[in-house]
Amino acid sequence: MPVVIILLLAIVLLAALIEPWVKRTPVPFTAVLVILGFVGSEIWTGLGFDTGLRWDSFRDIILHLLVPILVFESAYHMPARLLMKNSLPVLILALPALLISAFICGYLLYLGIGYPQAFPLLTALLAGVILAATDPVAVVSMFKAIGASPRLTALVEGESLFNDATAVVCFSLIIVALANDESMLNGPEATWAFFTTVGGGILIGLTAGYFSSILYHLNKNNNARGIISLLAMAIPFYIAEHSFHVSGIIAVLVSGLWLGESRRLAIAITQQEEKFSSHLWELNGYIANVIVFVLMGVTITVEMFRDQWFAMLLGIAAATISRAVVVYGFTPVVNILPQQEKISFSYQNVIMWGGLRGGVGIALALSIPTSVPGWYTVQAIIYGMVLFTLFVQAPLMPRLIKKTI
């Protein structure tokens, strides 16, 4: 395991060194990371060496470290006030729309693959949930470069932040159900499990965010504030997962939103910006993203494309269809609600096509237990969708975004 950590850190350093050069090309940086991981692992194994990567050795690192880092970093930098102004459409897209999207996508995969014994409905729904988790990092960076409106940024980034957390909760419940003969997903028990898991996470996140913000303002030392922000992620996640058995990701999300907004209010009052903790979390998010995309490349094989090409194409089609159904189906409902600013059709197009799949989806795909029937097919489907995102969706986004300005 120490050798694996050293190799991953070396790859992160290499990624940081080549990033300025990659930015001069039209190729997405994350795509280069996937290629780097794939080529590196092929060369390494071709020379007769073992990568040392095993599911049971890095699943906990992904679910208990990398995913919380990705969620907290996004929440910490999310302008909560702007998010609150657009909370209704964001929550609609991130909760009921995500659940419906996951069901449509999963059911299409189940019908399309057509092998219930090897790829049962619950496994298909697991794939649908992972595909419903969107990653706006590349899109938001384009927004900043092109000068898109703050509201469009809030809608896309806010939806992604909340649907990532919802997807992680659903992922965990389905994994438990698969390990218990699907008994947890029967009727009211599933609904109760979902709301208690989410509700408990919210309460713990609010408590952690409140106390961490007090400690943050009592300290003027940048190092202390940085450590407080790290604890604001680690402590609520641990307490939620291990002490109360509720959603640690929801706790991390709420804690990050509270502490991030508290920090911005302090800056507005004192007129003195503290950049250390912000840069610290940018670095944390950067490292987590690099590791996740490199791991994706390492675990991709030539045989995956040869054996799972149909499942990959089916996943792309199912994810695109289900995304279009919920975006174009739910936003008109938001538009007719009282006291809600309308979401224009051009915004809907960006939200629909901007539902890129990235870090969280890959992390969940990497952490599927090998005991799950059809786990390899699910992983291939997610990888296929992420590759479609990197090489098709992302390059077409700038032209679409410009039409909204």
3-state secondary structure the chain: CHHHHHHHHHHHHHHHHHHHHHCCCCCCHHHHHHHHHHHHHHHHHHCCCCCCCCHHHHHHHHHHHHHHHHHHHHHHCCCHHHHHHCHHHHHHHHCHHHHHHHHHHHHHHHHHHCCCCCCCHHHHHHHHHHHHCCCCHHHHHHHHHHCCCHHHHHHHHHHHHHHHHHHHHHHHHHHHHHHCCCHHHCCHHHHHHHHHHHHHHHHHHHHHHHHHHHHHHHCCCHHHHHHHHHHHHHHHHHHHHHHCCCCHHHHHHHHHHHHHHHHHHHHHHHCCCCCHHHHHHHHHHHHHHHHHHHHHHHHCCHHHHHHHHHHHHHHHHHHHHHHHHHHHHHHHHHHCCCCCCCCCHHHHHHHHHCCCCCHHHHHHHHCCCCCCCCHHHHHHHHHHHHHHHHHHHHHHHHHHHHCCC
Burial of 196 (0-12, 13-18, 19+ CB in 10 A): middle
Q: Supply φ then ψ for residue 232, to 5 degrees.
A: -65, -20
Tokens 């994350």 belong to residue: 30
Q: Is the dihedral of CA 78, 80, 82, 88 positive or negative?
A: positive
147: left (phi over 0), alpha (psi -120 to 50) or beta: left
pLDDT attached to residue 58: 65
Cα→Cα distances 344→135, 327, 348, Å: 22, 12, 6
pLDDT under 50 in the chain at which residues? none
How far is residue 366 from each of residues 312, 377, 379, measured CA to CA in Å? 16, 12, 7
pLDDT at 63: 83
Structure tokens at 238: 């641990």
pLDDT of residue 81: 79
Cα angle 351, 354, 359; round to 5 = 125
In angstroms, the CA 405 to CA 400 distance is 10
pLDDT on residue 50: 66
Interval 25-52: pLDDT, tens? 877 788 888 888 888 878 877 777 666 6
CA atoms of 50 and 353, how far apart (whole Å): 39
Write out the two tokens for 307: 């054996």
Radius of gyration of the chain (CA): 20
Q: Which amino acid is at 299?
A: T
